[in-house]
Amino acid sequence: MKATDLNRALNYVDDAYLMEADTPDKEIKTMKTKKRAIRILIAAALISLLTITAYAAELLPIHSLESGKTRYYKKYSDMNRVIAQAGLQLDAPEEFENGFRFRGMEVIETKGKDENGKQLLSFQQLDIYYENQLGQELVLSAGPELKELGETKSVSSIQRMVEGVAVNYRLDHYKFVPGDYKLSEAEEEWAKQPNNYVTYGSDTVQEQDIAFLCWTENDIYYFFYDRNGMNPEDLFAMAEEMIRR
């Protein structure tokens, strides 16, 4: 499979990945509509980060990503137990210096399958939700460094070294479309450009710019996921807080 073909296949978001947490908690249920929209974007974000090279594609012909069990937690006091369940070692703050405060977290079992439904990849991802006084939400995602998957086709616009760690900022452009949507030739050409993605699974055609700030530390791949148009300097400051903890 060519890298371009794989990239097109990876932009399929399986319905299973959009499953909501199965929980009786009333407060969590009231968040379902908002969280479903966020989940679609996070699925797209994860897929873009897992775009792989032609060489790696021959080893891991992943056709779709699905989520299995999803567990949601609303208390920061559960953090140590949650990161242990996810098999990760990290230290995420309850509140960042710029006012983004912990609102909840999810542990998501993510599975990569080939076109025949055979599972080729499985890992636990931790998504931590933060919100500021303006109601803006920011997601910090952490998962194992998947070295066998190579690099994303996206191009970073800013890179800095923080305590010896390379931190990369990039702005991706997404077009979310229904599952039966047919791309025009112009849209297909647009999607071939770095940092441009077409993602299937939305109810209507929508476009969204999403910023990522990514780094790897101690075999854990982190990324902040922002759709609020935050200043990159603010994201770098938050990453620096994480790295220096």
The tens digit of pLDDT for each residue in 125-156 reads 899 999 999 999 999 999 887 764 445 555 66
Q: Is residue 213 part of a domain?
A: no
Q: Is residue 238 part of a domain?
A: yes
- Among 212, 211, 209, 214, which residue's Cα sits nearest to residue 160? 214
Q: What is the pLDDT of residue 174?
A: 87
Which residues touch 118 (CB under 8 Å, ≥6 apart)? Answer: none
DSSP labels for 163-206?
TTEEEEEEEEEEEEE-TTPPPPHHHHHHHTSTTEEEEE--SS-E
Mean pLDDT of the chain: 76
- Among 19, 121, 104, which residue's Cα sits nearest to residue 62? 121
Q: Is residue 179 part of a domain?
A: no
Q: Is residue 199 part of a domain?
A: no
Q: Is residue 107 part of a domain?
A: yes
pLDDT band at 116 (very low <50, low <70, confident <90, very high): confident
Q: Is residue 126 part of a domain?
A: yes
- For the segment 97-115, what is each residue's pLDDT rounded down to a tens digit? 999 999 999 988 877 777 7
Domain that holds residue 69: 3-150+219-243
Domain count, the chain: 1
188-205 average pLDDT score: 86
235-240 average pLDDT score: 96
Q: In whole angstroms, what is the distance from residue 40 CA to residue 136 CA?
A: 17
Q: Is residue 178 part of a domain?
A: no
- For the segment 32-82, what is each residue's pLDDT rounded down to a tens digit? 444 555 555 555 555 555 443 333 444 566 666 666 677 899 999 999 999
Instruction: Please tell me the pTM assigned to this model.
Output: 0.74
Q: Is residue 110 part of a domain?
A: yes
Range with top average pLDDT, 64-73, 193-202, 209-218: 209-218
